[in-house]
Amino acid sequence: MITDKTNFKEDFTTISVLDSAVTETSEKLSKSLKSRYDDALIHIKNEKYSEAVRLLESVTSSLPDFDNAYFYLGLSKFKSGKYTDALDTCRKLINKGFRNYNIYSLTGSIYEAIRDYEKAIESFKQAITYNQDSFDSHFNLGVIYSYKQIYASSINSLIECIRLKPKHALSYFNLGCSYLHLDDFTKSIEAFNKTIQLQSDMYDAYHNLGIIYYNQENYDKSAESFKTLYFLSHNYENVVVHLGASLFKAKRFREAIEILENEIKRYPSDKTLFLILGKCYYKNKQYEKGIETISKYLDANPKSGEGYLEIGICYWYSGQHDKAVDALTNAIRLQYEPYISYIWLGLVNTSLKKIKEAYEAFNLAKYLDGKLPDSYIGLGVLEMMNENYIDAIQSFQHAAAVKPNMPLAYFGIGECQIRMSDATKSKFHLSSAILAFEEVLRIEPLNERAYIKLGVVYDKLENYKKSIECYAKAKSLNKQSAEADLYLGLTLVHNARYQDAIKALRSATELQPNLAPARFHLGLLYAFLDRHKNAIQEFEKTIELLPNFAEGYKNLGLMYHSNEDYEQAITSLEKALELEPYLADAQLNLGIAYTESGNLEGAEKLYENLKQLDESKADSLLFRINKIKLKK
CB 580 within 8 A of CB 608: no
Confidence tier at 331 by pLDDT (50, 70, 90): very high
Q: Determine the pLDDT at residue 142.
A: 94
Burial category of 597 from C-beta neighbours within 10 Å (exposed 0-12, middle 13-18, buried 19 and up): middle
- pLDDT per residue as tens digits for the range 350-373: 888 898 999 999 899 888 887 889
- Of 371, 372, 348, the closest CA to residue 360 belongs to 348
Query: Helix axis angle, 305-317 relative to 272-283, nearest 10°?
Result: 20
- In three-state secondary structure terms, 548 is coil
Confidence tier at 399 by pLDDT (50, 70, 90): very high
- Of 287, 337, 335, the closest CA to residue 311 belongs to 287
- pLDDT per residue as tens digits for the range 522-554: 999 999 999 999 999 999 999 999 999 999 999
- Could you tell me the residue ranges of all domains in the chain? 548-632
Q: What whole-number distance in Å separates Cα of residue 258 and Cα of residue 256?
A: 5
What would the mean pLDDT of 388-407 be, rounded to a whole number?
93
CB atoms within 10 A of CB 210: 28
Instruction: Give this prediction's pTM.
Output: 0.64
CB 120 within 8 A of CB 112: yes
Q: What's the topology of domain 548-632?
A: 1.25.40
CB atoms within 10 A of CB 50: 12
- pLDDT per residue as tens digits for the range 11-68: 444 344 334 443 444 456 788 889 999 999 999 999 999 999 999 999 999 888 888 8
Q: Determine the pLDDT at residue 28.
A: 60
What would the mean pLDDT of 589-598 be, rounded to a whole number?
88
Q: What whole-number distance in Å separates Cα of residue 283 and Cα of residue 626?
A: 62
Q: What whole-number distance in Å separates Cα of residue 119 and Cα of residue 316?
A: 60
Q: What whole-number distance in Å separates Cα of residue 136 and Cα of residue 16?
A: 8
H helix and E strand count, the chain: 35, 0
